[in-house]
Amino acid sequence: KKTVFSAIQPSGSITLGNFLGAWRGCAAMQDEYRCIYALADLHTITVRQEPAKFRKNTLEAYALLLAFGIDVEKSLFFIQSQVPAHAQLAWVLNCYTQFGELSRMTQFKDKSAKHADNINAGLFTYPSLMAADILLYQADLVPVGIDQKQHIELARNIAERFNALYSPTFTVPEGMFPKTGAKIMSLQDPAKKMSKSDDNANGCVYVLDTPDDIMRKFKRAVTDSEARVHYAEGKDGINNLMGIYAVLTGKSYEEIEREFEGKGYGDFKEAVGQTVVEELAPIQEKFRRLIDSKDYLEACYRENAQKATAIAQRTLNKVMKKVGFLQVK
């Protein structure tokens, strides 16, 4: 079986973008692949967090991903900060990653523009920690949204560089991007990607939003003045809504155009909203049950951190030896 690795930051409430771009398929992959999933909480502190809120977001994200269908009988699902090998390998990989490479990362440029008062070293070296996450588990495939493509490329380069300098150590991973929905845009500013950490909550649909909130956000989504549902350049708002509708219904853009021929944007937005509400309802219900089972959740992440540590440590040990750190027998 090929190994799949994917992670998400508990940096806020999980969005429809996260769900459609990366996590909707997580349950279905578990039979075909050896799946390893993580909450990337070390990455989260690259942006300042309020401790109590951060803890709450982490626990909620853990429960919500279980509600997406991660099955800990089949897959590993752990919290990054509870597996020390991530920070350890990240340090080593930092020393095999060039300043120039990190400087070219568009996520760094975007996030440092957004958090100009806190452009910390962690934000800059975010991609080498992400490389460590992936490489520790010898992952073959990394299902993520298209916004992470550049980071996956860098992880590949770091792996190839290390393998060439020493000897084959890391599996060189490949990104796995959905055909539609790989980049869901903000409903308020369709030129910007939908992000958990966005300040404009109206632009983001959260997986845990109430049906009323979801409908309201779709009804207010920014579109254009043409009032014809079709996919075309310059119609970012409509394109985005069509993308969301297409992933959820499995319909092609042509089919959607036909379905809404002669109808206005109001009807279309209503239909998209309704489809999202229906998709999320069973997930929300499962989440509500899980979030009340704190002891179960804790037992789950404790055990999964132990299992992940055992796997990660094998890769880390090889790396330490190859680099030349003096070994204790």
Give the residue numbers annotated as catalytic, written as ranges. 111, 193, 196
Q: Which span (31-39, 50-58, 194-202, 208-216) binds ligand ATP, by CB under 6 A?
A: 194-202
Number of H helices, E strands in the chain: 13, 5
Where do runs of H (alpha helix) occur along 19-140? 41-44, 51-68, 85-94, 99-103, 106-114, 121-136
The token pair that represents 55 in the structure block: 């803890």
46 binds ligand ATP (CB under 6 A): no
The DSSP symbol for 183 reads S
141-143: strand order across its sheet: 76-79, 34-39, 3-8, 141-143, 174-176
130 binds ligand ATP (CB under 6 A): no
Q: How many residues make contact with ligand ATP (CB under 6 A)?
A: 20
Q: Give min distance, CB of 44 to ligand ATP, in A.
A: 7
Any idea what the Cα angle at residue 88 is, between residues 43 and 46, rounded to 5°? 20
Q: Give min distance, CB of 152 to ligand ATP, in A.
A: 9
175 binds ligand ATP (CB under 6 A): no
Would you say 182 and 21 are in contact if contact means Cβ atoms under 8 Å apart?
yes
Q: Give min distance, CB of 99 to ligand ATP, in A.
A: 22
Q: Which span (17-25, 213-221, 251-259, 269-277) binds ligand ATP, by CB under 6 A?
A: 17-25
94 binds ligand ATP (CB under 6 A): no
Q: Helix or strand or coil: residue 185?
A: strand
Q: Give min distance, CB of 77 to ligand ATP, in A.
A: 14
151 binds ligand ATP (CB under 6 A): no
Rounded Cα gap, residues 299 and 279, in angstroms: 29
171 binds ligand ATP (CB under 6 A): no
9 binds ligand ATP (CB under 6 A): yes
Give, as ranges, the residues between 214 and 253 that touch ligand ATP (CB under 6 A): none
144 binds ligand ATP (CB under 6 A): yes
Q: Give min distance, CB of 232 to ligand ATP, in A.
A: 21
Whichever of 20 and 312 has its CB closer to ligand ATP, that residue is 20
Residues 6+ apart with CB under 8 A from 128: 90, 93, 94, 97, 102, 154, 158
Q: Which span (3-11, 278-286, 295-303, 319-327) binds ligand ATP, by CB under 6 A?
A: 3-11
Whichever of 45 and 297 has its CB closer to ligand ATP, that residue is 45
Phi, psi dihedrals of residue 200, rounded to the nearest 5°: -90, 95
Burial class (CB in 10 A: 0-12, 13-18, 19+), 325: exposed
Scanning the structure block, which residue is given the tokens 């079986």?
1
In one-letter notation, the amino acid at residue 80 is Q
13 binds ligand ATP (CB under 6 A): no
147 binds ligand ATP (CB under 6 A): yes
Residues 6+ apart with CB under 8 A from 113: none
Element (H, E) at 5: strand 3-8
Whichever of 48 and 321 has its CB closer to ligand ATP, that residue is 48
Q: Helix or strand or coil: residue 222?
A: coil
Would you say 240 and 190 are in contact if contact means Cβ atoms under 8 Å apart?
yes
Q: Which span (124-132, 142-150, 254-262, 268-276) binds ligand ATP, by CB under 6 A?
A: 142-150
Whichever of 163 and 202 has its CB closer to ligand ATP, that residue is 202
Residues that bind ligand ATP (CB under 6 A): 8-9, 11, 15, 17-18, 21-22, 144-145, 147-148, 182-184, 193-197
